[in-house]
Structure 1
């Protein structure tokens, strides 16, 4: 087998794991199954990821990085906080939720797996801390850029935004009605904008 750099091999295996997890779910996905999906020997798989838990953490980190990339690539933070909320949440929904039910199911399964696996509870906590931090940092950057204030702390605004989206996404996964979900997303955006109560600083 041709030599592959460790960083490249790791990305290859994480991509294979995401594919296997989306198709089979967390409980039925093994290191052997991921190795087969990636087309590598099981020994190579175990060298990079000695345990299923290590692989799942890498998958969650990859999903979080994907969310960061979407927000950085599409969220417009140079037109104020309200615009960032409206435009950013729409971009997030378009790129990572609508038409991506299997991705969202995988994220929920990973969270539940971590919570139910002794010693892995911290992984679920880390997952949501990262989600919240990503959103809070994005909101704060938009407000700072426009010289605005927010009525609530940014970490709280981030937590509430993640919680609201989580519920909306779960409903969409259970019944993927795009028109209804779009209407509900618009209502969630209005609630977040009102909670932020954006005003000029000073």
Structure 2
């Protein structure tokens, strides 16, 4: 087996764990099944992770980063803040449409953490990560576009985290692309209005690939 840096090996095992958990569920996932998926020995796993908690935290962070990386790339300033925010939402939602099992896993991770003694801090960490990510994106976009919000950044960050979290779960249940798109259009307009920008009317009708997130 070729040697690789420990950080890269951790990423390899984390991505393998995401695939196994999305397929088999969190409770049924074992270190052996993750190692089999990654093609490594148990000794390699235990060298990288000292507990299941450490693995789950790495999984939560990696799943969040998967979609956030796409959003960062999509958040290029456009003619209006509303258009810019909407593009970020679309990048997120394209990831939801392409990887529904991965997003479904995030809710299972929350439930697992809350139901198992000693793991609840992972659920808190998960939702703090969502808010922190939105805070970072809002501040970066504000610096680039020069807008001033009418609400504190942490409040908007929690609002957007709650919106995308709830809308994603609703979509996984209902699979209604048009309804989700309408909500995301409305939220993009709301964010722009909170920055004092006059907003365009929400679009109507279906969108090609399904909803969006920022």
The verdict on a shared fold, with TM-score over 0.5 as the criterion, is yes
CA positional deviation for 1:78: 6.5
Q: TM-score, normalised by structure 2?
A: 0.83
Distance 1:120 1:163 in 2: 22
| CA RMSD in angstroms, aligned pairs only | 2.1
- Determine if contact 2:76/2:84 at 8 Å carries over to the other structure: yes
Structure 2 alignment gaps of length 5 or more: 198-214
Matches within 5 A, 1:29-108: 29-77=29-77, 81-94=81-94, 96-108=95-107
CA positional deviation for 1:28: 0.9
Q: How big is each residue's C-alpha offset from its partner over 1:9-58, in whole Å with a ceiling of 9 and x where there is no partner?
A: 11111111011011011111111110111111222222212322111111
Distance 1:15 1:70 in 2: 17
- Secondary structure, counterpart of 1:97 in structure 2: helix
Q: TM-score, normalised by structure 1?
A: 0.87
CA positional deviation for 1:100: 1.7
Asked if 1:198 corresponds to 2:201, the answer is no
Distance 2:114 2:135 in 1: 24
Distance 2:138 2:36 in 1: 41
| Distance change >3 Å, CA 68–CA 184, structure 1 → 2 | closer
- Secondary structure, counterpart of 1:2 in structure 2: coil
CA positional deviation for 1:123: 1.7
- Determine if contact 2:68/2:92 at 8 Å carries over to the other structure: no
CA positional deviation for 1:136: 2.1
Distance 1:11 1:116 in 2: 26
Distance 1:132 1:153 in 2: 13
- Secondary structure, counterpart of 2:97 in structure 1: coil
- Determine if contact 1:16/1:38 at 8 Å carries over to the other structure: yes
- Determine if contact 2:147/2:195 at 8 Å carries over to the other structure: no
Distance 1:126 1:183 in 2: 30
- Secondary structure, counterpart of 2:17 in structure 1: helix
- Secondary structure, counterpart of 2:26 in structure 1: coil
Distance 1:146 1:24 in 2: 44
Structure 1 alignment gaps of length 5 or more: none
- Determine if contact 2:135/2:154 at 8 Å carries over to the other structure: yes
CA positional deviation for 1:187: 3.0
